[in-house]
Amino acid sequence: MLMVSLPADCDEEGFRAAARQCLARNLPPEQIAFTDEQTGSLFDTLETNVPESGVQVHVPRRFLTLLSKVLCHRAPDRFSLLYRLLWRIRKGEHNVLNRIADADVQQAERYAKAVDKDVYRMHAYVRFSEREIDGARVFVAWHEPQHFILNRAASFFVDRFSNMDWLICTPIGTIAWRDQKLDFGPAEARPASAGDAVLDELWTAYYRTTFNPARLRVNAMTAQMPKRHWPTMPETAFIPEMVHQAQNRIKAMEERAPDARPRFADVLAERMRRAEPVVSHPDSFEAMRNEIHSCRECPLHGPATQAVSGEGPLDASVMFVGEQPGDQEDLSGRPFVGPAGQLFDRALAEIGIERKKTYVTNAVKHFKFEPRGKRRVHSKPSAGEVSACRFWLDREIRTVSPKLIVALGATAILGLTGRSMAVTKERGRILDLNGCSLLVTVHPSYLLRLPNPDAAEAEYQRFLQDLSLAKRWYEAA
Ligand code: URA
Ligand code: SF4
């Protein structure tokens, strides 16, 4: 048995160097014990003079993506898992990554996904406080990632906050942006209580004024925002108090019924108050598209040709959400291009909405179908599949940050809100979705399925009315 010791935050280059050495000796995975304690470098146990040319391994691109993510995972078995996959590829299993039932592949995909989620959480939950350090004003944040993700997460902050000096401290190291230069440093002790920070107050004030009691669902909130992160998010100090007050405030709102629906002007004023800086981020968007393409979170990726992610400008005012790609979308890789898409295009044109200025996506990114002879017949995604895919829809919404989201049909509603709602009950008025406006209408394919031409025409007219309301809303917002 050979001991190979790698640093806990070993990068791709380090791992590949080690793996090449092992492959050059034709060492099967069972004969290597990888450890991630820093108990000595690899070269204490391996000689370095192995000719590299003998160990060129051609790996699929997907393996490289997987490698870069899995390496960030904290699990002690990540190195041996990666080496096992590499070994199998080297021994002729070039398609091993396509074997979705394979235990190694599943484990690697799980690790990769956990790393993606951790990066995403870091982007969402880091809150900076202004401090004076060595006489200079800097913005400091404390965050506790679960995995070794600092490298993966850093560019997002550089792009977003390039014009200020900042420091993110974590138990596994620091990231600093100073004088337009990025630095990774050793771990810091946890900074003192955040209570004295100017930014905390600002952020807290912002959070309280945008708080809508009717939106409060504690379970949903804590699921999205793990309690682990609460201590560093000043606004969470107010959550218990707000939960307490929420019941009374909801009651007061209900007592104002039947005319309790917010007036347009009020909603508009509210939107202006909470106008959040919107950041469109082409790089991270591209990265997200690639991630969607390699997503295996639910079984739908198996039979489908490819994932179909959303399309449109990242500063679009309006986002349309459909159900899932159909046959033609699955083949072309673009949303809403088949029969339903053509009807959708026609309706948009009639209302004067330019499709190329809108962002169009689906609740579920892979085509679900049943084979019938040569045809592939659309099959409705299950609640579990919709729920699995919400992760991506949520990221698209955060990236585009539209003024209005239009849900086309019941699956879109489920994907957006996590709840089932009747389209007929909710359509025609603007709802609130975590601070974003939401309009519900039917799915264009529903219009195509109506057998009676008069009924179909009447429903199409109602669909146009909904689109017209959408246009007026987002143009005014
Ligand atoms: N139906 C949808 O919901 N989305 C598409 O992309 C095509 C048809
Ligand atoms: Fe992933 Fe969504 Fe495709 Fe399922 S449908 S594999 S969650 S992208």
Closest CA to 6 of 71, 90, 84, 57: 71
Band (pLDDT 50/70/90 cuts) for residue 257 is: very low
CA-nearest residue for atom 7, ligand 2, is 389
Q: Alpha-carbon distance 35 to 329, whole Å? A: 45
**φ/ψ bin of 438: left (φ > 0), alpha (ψ from -120 to 50), beta (otherwise):** beta
Q: Tell me the C-alpha to C-alpha distance, in Å, between residue 440 and each of 251, 267, 468.
A: 25, 17, 13
pTM above 0.75, yes or no: no
Pocket of ligand 1 from Cβ distances under 6 Å: 322-326, 329, 335-336, 338, 340-341, 362, 445
Domain 264-476 has CATH 3.40.47.10: no
Q: Alpha-carbon distance 180 to 32, whole Å? A: 43
The pLDDT assigned to 94 comes to: 86
Structural domain boundaries in the chain: 2-120, 126-185, 207-258, 264-476
- The residue to which tokens 């968007």 are assigned: 285
Q: Alpha-carbon distance 145 to 476, whole Å? A: 40
- The residue to which tokens 């995972």 are assigned: 73
DSSP state of 321: E
Pocket of ligand 2 from Cβ distances under 6 Å: 292, 295-298, 300-301, 307, 364-366, 385, 388-389, 392
Number of the ligand 2 atom closest to the C-alpha atom of 292: 8
What are 68-87's pLDDT values in tens digits?
999 999 988 999 999 999 99
Mean pLDDT of 413-425: 92
Mean pLDDT of 241-266: 50
- Does position 160 have pLDDT exceeding 60, yes or no? yes
The best mutation among 392, 395, 396, 411 to test binding of ligand 2, ranked by most ligand atoms within 8 Å of the C-beta, falls on 392
| Mean model confidence pLDDT for the chain | 80
Q: Alpha-carbon distance 413 to 409, whole Å? A: 7
Tokens, residue 347: 């309706």
Tell how far the Cα of 301 is from the centroid of ligand 2, in angstroms.
6
The pLDDT assigned to 251 comes to: 60
Range of lowest pLDDT (186-200, 203-217, 338-352): 203-217
What are 24-69's pLDDT values in tens digits?
888 899 998 888 764 444 434 444 344 454 567 788 888 998 999 9
Closest CA to 385 of 470, 310, 300, 455: 300
Q: Alpha-carbon distance 149 to 156, whole Å? A: 12
Number of the ligand 2 atom closest to the C-alpha atom of 385: 4
Closest CA to 123 of 288, 240, 275: 288
Q: Alpha-carbon distance 59 to 70, whole Å? A: 16
CB-CB contact of 151 with 158 (8 Å): no
The best mutation among 290, 297, 324 to test binding of ligand 2, ranked by most ligand atoms within 8 Å of the C-beta, falls on 297
Mean pLDDT of 452-475: 95
Closest CA to 127 of 212, 72, 206: 206
**Helix/strand/coil (H/E/C) assignment for every residue in 207-222:** HHHCCCHHHCCHHHHH
The pLDDT assigned to 226 comes to: 59
Closest CA to 289 of 303, 310, 305: 310
CB-CB contact of 400 with 311 (8 Å): no
The ligand whose atoms approach the alpha carbon of 444 most closely is 1
Tell how far the Cα of 113 is from the centroid of ligand 2, in angstroms.
12
What are 258-311's pLDDT values in tens digits?
433 333 334 333 433 433 333 334 566 787 888 888 888 889 998 999 999 999
Q: Is 32 exposed, middle or buried (0-12, 13-18, 19+ CB in 10 A)?
A: buried
CB-CB contact of 198 with 234 (8 Å): no
Number of the ligand 1 atom closest to the C-alpha atom of 336: 6
Closest CA to 447 of 464, 432, 438, 459: 459
DSSP state of 165: -
CA-nearest residue for atom 7, ligand 1, is 336
Residues 6 or more apart from 153 whose CB is under 8 A from it? 119, 122, 123, 145, 175
Sequence-ordered alpha helix ranges (H) in 25-149: 61-70, 78-90, 103-125
Tell how far the Cα of 338 is from the centroid of ligand 2, in angstroms.
20
The pLDDT assigned to 326 comes to: 96
Tell how far the Cα of 258 is from the centroid of ligand 1, in angstroms.
37
Tokens, residue 85: 């996959």
CB-CB contact of 365 with 389 (8 Å): yes
The pLDDT assigned to 71 comes to: 95
Number of the ligand 2 atom closest to the C-alpha atom of 301: 6
The best mutation among 360, 362, 414 to test binding of ligand 1, ranked by most ligand atoms within 8 Å of the C-beta, falls on 362
Dihedral angle computed from the Cα positions of residues 65, 70, 73 and 77, in that order, rounded to the nearest 10 degrees: -170
Q: Alpha-carbon distance 105 to 246, whole Å? A: 46
Highest mean pLDDT among 160-164, 373-377, 464-468: 464-468
Tokens, residue 264: 């347009």
Tell how far the Cα of 373 is from the centroid of ligand 2, in angstroms.
25
